[in-house]
Structures are given as C-alpha cells and as structure tokens.
Chains A and B, each alone.
Chain A
C-alpha cells in the first residue's frame, strides 16, 4: 500500500513568486491536512480538507490556500512568497477524522525562499 506522496521534495523560489505543492494521500483516505514546520514554531496547522471541502483552517494569512480534488489529491498554494515562508511543508492523510483517527505523513516539501 503506497504511502502519502508529496511533490516536489525540494523547491527554491524567489520572494514575490508563488508556489504550488502537491499531496497524494493513501488510497481510500479522504481527509488531507497541511502543516508548516519551522525550527522555531514547530508544526503549525494550515488547513484540512475532506471530500473536497475545507473543514478547518489555521491562523495563516490568505496568501496560503489549498484545494482538494475528487480523487482526494490535494494542493496548497502560497502566493507572494516571503522569506519567512521557508519551511518544511507536510501533508497528512487520514481515513476519516473520527475519534480514533490516525494521521500518516508524507516526507514533506522543503521550500526555501531567497
């Protein structure tokens, strides 16, 4: 059974550009969550999608957006990149967010903004 796949693994962008990251969840998983991880802030929740609908959103500016497709694959977009957006972006998939759910993470996309 394939795990969570994130592409690309590494990305270097310039300030002001925009970027799109992709996440393919485990087959059958309908929930996809996105996190930003930096050394100083730890894992910060960005948003969660379930069956193409955004159910939860963290405290990030509107430059951060996402979407989920009918096959559960998800993308997140960051527009007008800032240096502080440099981070490891992690995607996690879950079968369904019920009381005893488990999240399985991808390897992440390392974004560097220069």
Chain B
C-alpha cells in the first residue's frame, strides 16, 4: 500500500506552460519534502514544508502543504526544459520516510 499518492504519474508539456503536481495521503506527516531526480542520479532535496497551510516559493516553484498536513502540491510557473525530471514527495514520520511513486515531467523546448 502506497501511503503517498502522486498525480499525475506522467506529464509532458511545452516550455512556458504552467503545471501542478499533487501529493496526497490519508496519513498526517510531521513534515513533507519534495525532491527532483534526474536519470541515473540521486534525488535532490528542493524544499521541506512543516506547518499546515505553509507556502514556500523557490524561484518559479511554489510548494504548498495542506492545512491538515496530509497533502501537498508543487506548482511550476513557465516551465523550462531544465525542469525535466522525476519529482518525488516524501512524508516524514519520526524515524522513517515514505515516498510517493513520483511524477515524471518532460518539458519540451
């Protein structure tokens, strides 16, 4: 059973478009992380959200943590080919991480 469900699984868009990736769970997490992974490399941490309702911005990326700390979203504005990769969300419990299955994003020039 996957604790964290990510949607969509695949996304192929043109450069300049906006997109939103969702990460949903029935469990409450103390914090939630978003990672981006390129082929053959390890995931790179993008952001950690901790407080329910929290919004964090990282240049063109906006991350939101749901009020109940069960879900999160990642919004990318004006996507660029360099945004291409696998986006993973992870919920942290006290001694374990639970990873979503990921959203594979392809941004075409």
Contact = CB atoms under 8 A, between A and B. Distances in A.
Contact of B96 (A4, A97, A100, A102): A97
Interface string A87-106: 01010100001111111111
A98 B97 CA distance: 11
Interface in B31-51: 31, 33, 35, 40-45, 48, 50
B97 A103 contact: yes
Interface residues of B, number: 23
A50 B45 CA distance: 21
B57 to A, nearest CB: 18
Contact of A105 (B42, B48, B100): B42
A103 B43 CA distance: 10
A55 interface: yes
A45 B48 contact: no
B99 interface: yes
B76 interface: no
Interface string A40-78: 001101001010000110000000000000000000000
Contact of B40 (A48, A50, A88): A88
Interface of A: 4, 6, 33, 35, 42-43, 45, 48, 50, 55-56, 88, 90, 92, 97-108, 110
